[in-house]
């Protein structure tokens, strides 16, 4: 450690680290626009400039290393003037439609304008006119609101390994574009929405289904049902100012009822169902010489990634639908049949942490007998907007419980919300299917945590098996390349498209704060610790569903409703 001086106060810094890192650790805030944690600094936006004694020019703190005895001013008049000028220049050709922008009130550029007291246009620029890209089923691009920070480009290339967008043009004509300026729907985009999470403005947003859902709720001819993903209950409250990591499952159910949903179901139930099918499929592949390693199919961004970039691994993907689509299929068939409702009278909504779920819900593979499994997918952010629009105060509600028959869940199903959760849940049930008994220690520590690549080898029965967990598609790419090169000690792989899993999905509250993501994960772990039913195969409602309707895992009816197949992406519409 070395000693530096910041605003006339001593601060400890690590030798060789960047100034911004030392300032952040000391709790000294410096505004940034292009900076991304854990990625090599570009120093492009210059918002993080500081004044360093002995340096003639202002220094970008994200890209300049500390030195022993360095004296820094983070908010000197010269620094403040420079930052203010940068913001004013960005605003010179930025659209003045904040009242209509989906990011109004939660826009970094708007917040910086307020912070630096900008109340009028000092510079006048020509506002570039770009066409709105609404071609994607998941993401809307508005290039006119782009400030060229580059964060979307970097997360798409360096974190996800997709490179669907990049800089185009030079100078004043620079823009962020897809290849050949085509729509996102014909690009390599896998709909993960991580670009939305890092975008500081409204240049990237989810494709909204709010109006469709509100119209359905107001239609007396429709039976409107909603399902909520495992991670939603530990993230939704953040949209209303609550600290990360609070579970509001019961209050959330009550809020959905007050909105007018006729039934409220828990997708964690179908996560348990997914485990019954997926674990059975894994055991079948192992015992019958099927294609290994088997890979999970819960994350639709990952599925599209394989279809596009690694089609030779399509047969390795589990044939199981995701929990969203499994529950959607059951609602339109089992539930409709039991309640005596025509499937076309049911409007099925899902609240998901993921923008790629919007794409998944509209895949042709998810339509049976001309009936879609799911009619509309809302992100966590969209559901929060609906609650605010309808004036529902979460603090005034008493907790409620989800409806039967899709309301009971195990804690294994709840773990689906975090990276490693699907693997942990699957191993608990696979162990039971192979040995006939439950694991004594059901907590599998080696697959927990936010690390992007985790592995564990376990002996089940008389055989040792290898299991891998990856989140973030560039981590998945590296593992796939190892397998292509001949690695053969891994039998089952869980892949989550978004780093950290669904708790950090592209539809969650706008935040890349690693502490918030970790707190969400810890809440899921505490639920697993404190509740009683820890195994998907011990969910009595799932057992009853098999007895009354499905028959058995991998049986004819479950295979028809709960399984699907994928093809090389060149052979279908993008």
Residues 413-448: tens digit of each pLDDT: 999 999 999 999 999 999 999 999 999 999 999 999
- 298: Cβ contacts below 8 Å, ≥ 6 apart: 274, 320, 322, 323, 416, 422, 496
Confidence (pLDDT) at 96: 87
Helix (H) or strand (E) holding 376, with range, is strand 376-379
Q: Degrees (nearest 5) of the Cα angle 395, 206, 202?
A: 90
Catalytically annotated residue among 138, 144, 318, 558: 318
* Mode of pairing for the β-strands spanning 2-6 and 9-13: antiparallel
The per-residue pLDDT for 570 is 66
Ordered domains of the chain (ranges, CATH): 2-75 (3.10.20.740), 91-206 (3.30.70.20), 211-571 (3.40.50.1780)
What pLDDT, on the 0 to 100 scale, is given for residue 543?
Answer: 97
Chain mean position to CA 9: 40
DSSP string, 490-537: --EEEEESSTT-GGG-TTS-S---HHHHHHHHHHHHHHHHHSS---GG
pLDDT more than 90, % of the chain: 93
Q: Write the pLDDT tens digit of every residue in 10-52.
A: 999 999 999 999 999 999 999 999 999 999 999 999 999 999 9
Tens digit of each residue's pLDDT (9 = 90 or more) over 270-314? 999 999 999 999 999 999 999 999 999 999 999 999 999 999 999
Among the listed residues 365, 451, 455, 511, the single catalytic one is: 365
Angle between helices 421-435 and 267-288 (to 10 degrees): 50
Catalytic residue among 101, 189, 192, 502: 502
From 108, 238, 277, 278, the catalytic residue: 278
Confidence of residue 572 (pLDDT cuts 50, 70, 90): very low
Q: Which of 45, 152, 199, 298 is catalytic?
A: 298
Q: Which of 145, 304, 321, 357 is catalytic?
A: 357
Query: Is the per-residue pLDDT at 370 higher than 80?
Result: yes
Active site residue 5: no
- Establish whether 48 is a catalytic residue: no
Question: What is the average pLDDT across 116-141?
Answer: 90
pLDDT exceeds 70 at position 528:
yes
Q: What is the mean pLDDT of the chain?
A: 95
- CA–CA distance, 315 with 313 (Å, rounded to integer): 5
Name the catalytic one among 108, 238, 281, 424.
Answer: 281
Q: Model confidence at 151, in pLDDT bands (50, 70, 90)?
A: very high
**Is residue 298 among the annotated active site residues?**
yes
Whole-number pLDDT of residue 262: 98
Backbone CA torsion sign across 566, 571, 572, 574: positive
CA distance 445 to 449: 8
Q: Please give the distance of CA 109 from its chain centroid, rounded to a whole number.
A: 23
Please say whether the beta carbons of 154 and 210 come within 8 A: no
Task: State the pLDDT at residue 369.
Answer: 78
For the cut 50, the answer to whether the pLDDT of residue 573 exceeds it is no
User: What's the mean pLDDT in 71-92?
Assistant: 97
Task: Quote the percentage of the chain above a pLDDT of 70.
Answer: 99
pLDDT at 158: 97
pLDDT digits (tens, 9 = 90+) for 165-220: 999 999 888 999 999 999 999 999 999 999 999 999 999 999 999 999 999 999 99
Which of 108, 206, 307, 360 is catalytic? The answer is 360
What confidence score (pLDDT) does residue 469 get?
98
Known catalytic residue at 502: yes
Please report, in angstroms and rounded to a whole number, the separation of the first and last CA atoms in the chain.
52
Contact 281, 306 (CB under 8 A): no
- pLDDT score for 574: 41
**Mean pLDDT value across residues 532-557:** 96
Q: Check if 278 is active-site.
A: yes
- Whether 15 sits among the annotated catalytic residues: the reply is no
- Give the Cα separation of 549 and 526 in Å (integer): 33
Instruction: Provide the angle, in degrees to the nearest 10, between the axes of the packed helices 473-484 and 300-309.
Output: 40
């Amino acid at each position: 450690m070395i000693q530096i001086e910041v605003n006339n106060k001593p601060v400890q810094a690590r030798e060789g680290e960047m100034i911004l890192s030392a300032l952040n650790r000391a709790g000294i805030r410096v505004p940034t626009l292009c900076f991304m944690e854990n990625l090599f600094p570009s120093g492009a936006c210059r918002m993080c400039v500081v004044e360093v004694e002995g340096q003639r020019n202002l220094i970008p703190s994200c890209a300049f290393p500390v030195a022993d005895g360095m004296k820094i001013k983070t908010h000197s008049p010269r620094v403040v003037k420079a930052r203010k000028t940068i913001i004013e220049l960005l605003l010179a050709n930025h659209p003045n439609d904040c009242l209509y922008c989906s990011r109004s009130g939660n826009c970094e550029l708007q917040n910086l304008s307020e912070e630096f007291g900008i109340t009028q246009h000092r510079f006048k620029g020509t506002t570039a006119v770009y066409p709105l890209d609404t071609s994607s089923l998941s993401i809307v691009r508005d290039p006119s609101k782009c400030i060229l920070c580059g964060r979307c480009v970097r997360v798409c290339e360096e974190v996800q390994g997709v490179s669907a967008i990049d800089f185009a043009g030079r100078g004043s004509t620079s823009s962020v574009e897809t290849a050949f300026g085509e729509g996102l729907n014909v690009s390599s985009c896998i709909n993960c929405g991580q670009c939305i999470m890092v975008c500081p403005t409204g240049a990237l947003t989810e494709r909204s289904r709010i109006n469709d859902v509100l119209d359905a709720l107001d239609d007396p001819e429709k039976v409107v049902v909603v399902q909520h993903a495992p991670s939603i209950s530990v993230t939704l409250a953040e949209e209303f100012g609550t600290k990360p990591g609070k579970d509001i499952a019961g209050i959330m159910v009550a809020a959905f009822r007050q909105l007018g949903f006729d039934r409220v179901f828990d997708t964690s139930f179908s996560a348990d169902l997914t485990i019954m099918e997926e674990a059975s499929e894994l055991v079948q592949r192992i015992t019958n010489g099927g294609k290994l390693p088997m890979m999970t199919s819960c994350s639709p961004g990952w599925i599209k990634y394989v279809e596009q970039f690694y089609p030779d691994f399509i047969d390795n993907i589990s044939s199981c639908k995701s929990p969203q689509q499994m529950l959607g299929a059951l609602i339109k068939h089992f539930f409709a049949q039991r309640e005596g409702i025509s499937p076309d009278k049911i409007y099925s909504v899902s609240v998901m942490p993921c923008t790629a779920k919007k794409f998944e819900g509209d895949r042709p593979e998810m339509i049976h007998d001309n009936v879609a499994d799911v009619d509309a997918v809302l992100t966590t952010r969209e559901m929060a907007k609906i609650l605010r629009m309808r004036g529902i105060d979460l603090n005034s509600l008493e907790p409620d419980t989800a409806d039967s028959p899709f309301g009971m869940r195990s804690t294994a199903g709840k773990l689906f919300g975090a990276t490693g959760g699907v693997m942990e849940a699957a191993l608990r049930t696979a162990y039971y299917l192979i040995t006939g008994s439950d694991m004594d220690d059901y907590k599998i520590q080696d697959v927990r945590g936010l690390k992007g690549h985790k592995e564990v080898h376990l002996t089940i029965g008389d055989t040792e098996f290898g299991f891998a967990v990856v989140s973030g598609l560039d981590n998945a790419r590296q593992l796939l390349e190892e397998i292509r090169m001949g690695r053969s000690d891994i039998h089952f792989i869980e892949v989550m498209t978004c780093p950290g899993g669904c708790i950090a999905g592209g539809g969650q509250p706008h935040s890349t704060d690693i502490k918030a993501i970790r707190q969400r994960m810890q809440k899921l772990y505490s639920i697993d610790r404190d509740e009683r039913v820890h195994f998907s195969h011990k969910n009595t409602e799932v057992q009853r569903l098999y007895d009354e309707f499905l028959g058995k895992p991998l049986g004819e009816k479950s295979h028809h409703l709960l399984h699907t197949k994928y093809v090389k992406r060149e052979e279908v519409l993008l």
